[in-house]
Amino acid sequence: MRSRSNSGVKLDNYARLVQQTILCHQDPVTGLLPASEEQRHAWVRDNVYSILSVWALALAYRKNADRDEDKAKAYELEQSVVKLMRGLLQCMMRQLEKVEKFKYSQSPMDALHAKYSIKTCATVVGDDQWGHLQVDATSLYLLFVAQMTASGLHIIYTQDEVDIIQNLMFYIEAAYKIADYGMWERGDKTNQGIPELNASSVGMAKAALEALDELNLFGANGGPASVVHALSDEVEHCQSILHSMLPRASNSKEIDAGILSVISYPAFAVEDIRLVNITKEEIISKLQGRYGCCRFLRDGHKTPKEDPNRLYYEPAELKLFENIECEWPLFWTYLILDGIFSNSPEQVQEYRDALEGILIKGKNGIRLVPELYSVPPDKVEEEYRNPHTVDRVPMGKLPIMWGQSLYIVGSLLAEGFLAPGEIDPLNRKFSTVPKPDVVVQVSILAETEEIKAILQKHGFNVQTVADVYPIRLQPSRILSHIYARLGRNRRLGLTGRPYRRMGVLGTSKLYIIRNTIFSFTPQFIDQQQFYLALDSRMIVEMLRTDLSYLCCRWRMTGRPTVTFPISQTMLTEDRLDLDPVILATLRKLQDGYFGGARVQTGKLSEFMTTSCCAHLSFMDPKPDGKMMLHQDYDDDDDVLDAVESLHAFHFADHVDTIDDLAKYLDQLLKSPAPTPSQGPKKGGVSRFRAVAHQTYEMVSLMNKAKELDIQNVSMYLPSKLYRVPQPSFNLLDSTQPQPAQDIKIPRMVITSEMNLPKDSSGKTDFKALIDQLKECPCLQDQADILYILFNLKGADWDTEYYGEPGTTVKDLLTKLYNKAGAMRQWGLIRMISGMLKKKVEALDEACSDLLSHQKHLTVGLPPEPREKTIVAPLPLDELTKLIDDASEQNINIAVLTQEIMVYLAMYIRTQPSLFTEMFRLRIGLIIQVMTTELAQSLNCSGEEATESLMSLSPSDLKNLLHHILSGKEFGVERSMRSVSAISPVISIHEVGNVGATKSERAGISKLKLDMKQSSNLQVTDVDISESSSMKFSSSPSMDGLPFPASAATDSRQGQWLRRRRLDGALNRVPVGFYQKVWKILQKCHGLSIEGFVLPSSTTREMTPGEIKFSVHVESVLNRVPQPEYRQLLVEVILVLTMLADIEIQSIGGIIHVERILHLANDLFYEEQKALGAGDDILKKDPATGICVLLYDSAPSGRFGTMTYLTKAVAIYVQDFLPSSGCAMQ
């Protein structure tokens, strides 16, 4: 008999350790593991981590087998792993109705349970009796289903189970916007059951989706049907949100040791190695102690100060846990694994040595990992005074199976029994390896032969949509409908993926569906229901954004391919040439660089070999026809039946959209190739039947397209059948260019003074009003009349415009909207869009994107309660209703709010740095500031400025928003270029720094630098004697902000007022501001701002780095409606924070910030008076009592705001300053 090798003996020792600490607890029926001897429930997360050591040991035995018995042992261990993973699958299969509900509701009450009975796989507590919503736990399970399957284990047995895994992927794919209870099951650290967005959940979901994408769950023996799919855009959303959160863990936890599982093994979810290192350093510096790491700051779990009789904490109670948080050895096992995967033997040895010193010896000398180490009750005060000096005692589970398992895995790796890649067969560890540069392939197509001829005239050799056959071009919404079919299983009650709009990563692949290659247009081409796509410049902006996004975010094999069709809306008004903006864009694309992206243009057929291509096999027809519902009409020779069907080809209500999709694809793929030649003509009855049959097919196909809500059908289904001219609204066909001054926004209030026609009884004669509408040649006047009818009679009132019933006000508004769209009259377009209740299709997604980046939104004009706050994602209908309510039925504000929300989401995806230190985006205030900017720059009234804002093209409005967000100086002026039928063109351009340093662009420069180096600042102080007075008048259309009635003669005048107004409206504060506020609150009883108190007790609940604390401070500041006044209050607080560095215990009770500001204002006023300034120059803002000139003063210099604020603070707190402090001068 062959003797046992040394490695075999060691493996046997580890096998005994695994058996005695883990496998001895495995239930023989279900395969599940209990949390401990006392807690007999099976937690999903704990079970997955606990079985990892069994899996690793099986791999080690298979790799280092000395004898056949070792291979048998490996197989036995593998089956224990499979049994547990299938036991967890059984638990989830019993809750499939929750999976189905949660995909749509994302409600904690519909979440999968976090723990189950180890005996029966049944639930053990109610839906509302535990923090069940833990996305990271489900994601961890899915991640290791992928890893273990890739290693050769067979966990999934049937096609039904494949569909379950696919639906579990849908369950977690929106993790980037799901607030859950996190890996510690308690949500917000006050333990009051408040879910929050957790970086650990987002990161684990991202890793699971990436690992499972395109994986065959049947392993090497599987076919196309057992492959599961993840959507690239959902993965990238998770990546983006995770990147924006780290190193923060959540709103209430500025750091959490649990993130180690995300930045290193097992998830490896972060691609930026710099961010990985920053996060790891934060965890070690803030959480590491002598016995492990704390979970998070002020964690009260099992500390001596925790009250065991209640689950929740009082907010002020959290301060008691500071410096006595329990330390968990578990996290050192993660750091050992991190050192192994990062090839850092020093780190591995350091933490293995540290861990060996705190392990506890059990029976037979086996080493056990305790759950945690706690401060003894009698040593609490000593630990408060000298943190990390007191000897702690082990508490909790012994061992904690999760930690014990990771300890064994780390030991097997460190001792060479396994290579890192063997427990990471999908190579997630390479996530931080730099990716090669991306080249974006762009295929330019012409919608029609006429447009193709125009493009050829300019030197562009392109194909039409018909020319690319056999490749089929379809809109992005068809791809959304296709993916909605994925994972559908009627027997299990699973409806597949919820319909969601497809992002640019998804539409930039080619797809093989039913042996046909499909290409899909980007989403922005599909946005025909809202007016953004009417603006060629906006189309170009969205293309530039998409290409830039692809260049930065593409991670798949093969190049991204963008199909860019040139449609009728991209031509000039006479439809004879390309819009110059589109033409310039096409030339840039041909040059090879556009929007910072490397681009290659060409034909779709040329990109076949280099494109990323996905095979959607789930759309293939099944032998039993289960997945397809279609009829074969080829053998139908009854022409009469076919013609009758033309009028009855609508599906019954019970047939869902997915079946419509199947029929649509069936007919699309059976339809003849869209080529000009139709072949030899038949005669007689045969010819009639062929024409009737083709007409039937085309009409049916168009009906299907309408059922699936496809816009611009003629592009995707080219046929003369769809180009029959519609009866036109003759009087709206005015093609004469209108003078710019005639374009105006209709009044929003209908008064009795309006000269409306009256009938004999003195009431409004609506028939006469309709007659006026027919005679009216001007679009603006037509809009005025329709607006009156809309308000007085409603959108559904029948006008009998053509002398017979059937033409409603809504119908006429729709035709006017189309005509205004063709003439690019943006003021009219927006107004009619508001009346027609048009919605941006991606509005709810834009809102979710902003919220996911930890930004709260407010809509409506300040102050509250008119201004409504959005803190959680809302369905589209609820969101638009909230916007309408907050806008108080003001059509202008409601439409602009939707538009700006979309632009903000576009910027936060591509330029998140614009939003640094901004936690609440107040859209109503942004609209006010935009109007103020136009009023000041164009030297016009507030009403005219509102009119100009409404008349800006979408691209110009987006450009104006970007300039406001960037903090750079910019100018607005009327352009000299003449554009027919369009309101006065306004150009927005950057100007020089105008004396502003880089730091000042983000608000106020650092105070100490201002105080010490004021002479270095380039901004010249405002000369009092030369300043002219500035008159203000209130606008009737936008409340709350004054508008300058005359332009400033000095280019510097108004500069600092404007900057403070912008920064105040955007809630922009200097970097580190909130941490400084936290420090000053520890030296006083609170800060009072306009009657609202920010108490010092806040610091007992929250730590300085919490987003929760920043949002709390910001909410108090937002009580101030005037943005420039708010910003001066921020400057006052910034001066106060300088006192936090002075060695004094207290600076008083409640500090009234506004009193300090008014004291500074009085000092400023008196000094300027003494220097001879007149009352006209020192005019005060009636709303606040502050000198307008103080608003407009630079922070530094002799007459700067900091000079007076510093004096005012010194006067206010002089009783608390050291006697040796600065003397007042």
User: Over the stretch 465-513, which tens digit does the pLDDT of each residue have?
Assistant: 889 988 999 999 899 999 999 999 999 999 999 998 899 999 999 999 9
Average pLDDT of the segment spanning 810-819: 88
Report which residue type is found at 337: L
Say which range, 144-158, 192-206, 816-830, has the weakest mean pLDDT: 816-830
Contact indicator for 887, 943 with CB cutoff of 8 Å: no
The model's confidence at residue 1205, banded by pLDDT at 50, 70 and 90, is very high
Q: What is the pLDDT of residues 653-694, one digit of tens each?
A: 333 445 678 788 887 887 766 554 333 444 454 444 444 555
pLDDT for 561 equals 97
Q: What is the pLDDT of residues 1121-1157, one digit of tens each?
A: 889 999 999 999 999 988 877 777 777 789 999 999 9
pLDDT for 11 equals 92
Contact indicator for 175, 245 with CB cutoff of 8 Å: no
Residue 278: both structure tokens together:
């920053």
Assign 754 to helix, strand or coil: coil
Contact indicator for 957, 903 with CB cutoff of 8 Å: yes
Q: What is the pLDDT of residues 711-721, one digit of tens each?
A: 666 566 644 33
> What kind and span of H or E run contains 1058?
helix 1055-1065
Query: What's the rounded Cα separation, in Å, for the pair 785 and 576?
Result: 33
Q: Phi and psi for 726 in degrees, rounded to 5?
A: -90, 150
Say which range, 84-98, 563-577, 1032-1046, has the weakest mean pLDDT: 1032-1046
Report the sign of the C-alpha dihedral through residues 1195, 1201, 1203, 1208, in that order: negative
Query: What's the rounded Cα separation, in Å, for the pair 619 and 481?
Result: 11
Does residue 430 have a pLDDT over 90? yes
Burial letters 420-440, b for 16+ CB under 10 A, else e:
eebbbbbebbebbeeeeebbb
pLDDT for 268 equals 97
Q: What is the pLDDT of residues 599-648, one digit of tens each?
A: 999 999 999 999 999 999 888 876 554 443 333 334 333 333 322 322 33
Query: What's the rounded Cα separation, in Å, for the pair 82 and 87?
Result: 8
Provide the 10 A C-beta neighbour count for residue 280: 20
The model's confidence at residue 650, banded by pLDDT at 50, 70 and 90, is very low
Q: Backbone dihedral region of 899: left (phi > 0), alpha (psi from -120 to 50 degrees) or beta?
A: alpha
Query: What's the rounded Cα separation, in Å, for the pair 548 and 117?
Result: 50
Report the sign of the C-alpha dihedral through residues 275, 279, 282, 284, in that order: negative
Does residue 1006 have a pLDDT over 50? no
pLDDT for 4 equals 62
Q: What is the pLDDT of residues 752-762, one digit of tens each?
A: 445 677 777 77
Is the omega angle on the peptide bond into residue 266 within 30 degrees of 0, that is, cis?
yes
Does residue 733 have a pLDDT over 80? no
Nearest to 892 by CA among 903, 884, 902: 884
Dihedral (Cα; 1206, 1211, 1213, 1215), 10-degree rounding: 140
Does residue 174 have a pLDDT over 90? yes
Average pLDDT of the segment spanning 833-853: 86
Query: What's the rounded Cα separation, in Å, for the pair 695 and 706?
Result: 16
Q: Is 20 exposed, middle or buried (0-12, 13-18, 19+ CB in 10 A)?
A: middle
Q: Is 533 exposed, middle or buried (0-12, 13-18, 19+ CB in 10 A)?
A: buried
Provide the 10 A C-beta neighbour count for residue 107: 13
DSSP string, 584-651: HHHHHHHHTEETTEEEEE--GGGGTTTB-EEE-GGGSPPTT-TT------TT---HHHHHHHHTT---
Strands 360-361 and 367-368: antiparallel
Query: What's the rounded Cα separation, in Å, for the pair 680 and 659?
Result: 35
pLDDT for 118 equals 95
Rg for the chain (alpha carbons), in Å? 34
pTM above 0.75, yes or no: yes
Query: What's the rounded Cα separation, in Å, for the pair 797 and 1216?
Result: 72
Residue, of 307 and 731, whose pLDDT is higher: 307
Average pLDDT of the segment spanning 236-242: 93
Per DSSP, 1079 falls in state H
Q: What is the pLDDT of residues 310-352, one digit of tens each?
A: 888 988 899 999 999 999 999 999 999 999 999 999 999 999 9
Which positions ≥6 away from 420 have C-beta within 8 Å? 340, 341, 413, 429
Per the prediction, the chain carries an average pLDDT of 82
Q: What is the pLDDT of residues 372-427, one digit of tens each?
A: 999 999 999 999 999 999 999 999 999 999 999 999 999 999 999 999 999 999 99
Q: Backbone dihedral region of 174: left (phi > 0), alpha (psi from -120 to 50 degrees) or beta?
A: alpha
Q: Where are the beta strands (DSSP E) in 1106-1167?
A: 1150-1152
Does residue 98 have a pLDDT over 50? yes
Per DSSP, 413 falls in state H
Measure Cα distances from 255 to 258, 266, 988, 1169 in Å: 9, 19, 42, 52
Say which range, 119-128, 266-275, 1085-1094, has the weakest mean pLDDT: 1085-1094
pLDDT for 635 equals 39
Residue 321: both structure tokens together:
């846990």
Name the residue with tokens 């780290």: 246
Does residue 272 have a pLDDT over 70? yes
Q: Phi and psi for 260 in degrees, rounded to 5?
A: -55, -35
pLDDT for 742 equals 34
Assign 1120 to helix, strand or coil: coil
pLDDT for 5 equals 67
pLDDT for 28 equals 95
Q: Quick one: how far is CA 629 from the chain centroid?
A: 37
Which positions ≥6 away from 232 have C-beta within 8 Å? 213, 503, 505, 506, 509, 555, 556
| Bridge partners, residue 216, by sequence | 227
Measure Cα distances from 698 to 526, 664, 670 in Å: 21, 11, 11
Residue, of 771 and 1155, whose pLDDT is higher: 1155
pLDDT for 708 equals 66
pLDDT for 704 equals 63
Query: What's the rounded Cα separation, in Å, for the pair 811 and 814?
Result: 5
Contact indicator for 73, 8 with CB cutoff of 8 Å: no
Adjacency order of strands within the sheet including 510-513: 472-474, 516-520, 510-513, 613-615
* Percent of the chain surpassing pLDDT 70: 82
Q: What is the pLDDT of residues 895-948, one digit of tens each?
A: 999 999 999 998 998 888 889 888 889 999 899 888 888 888 888 888 888 888
Alpha helices in 794-890 (DSSP H): 809-822, 826-835, 843-852, 876-886
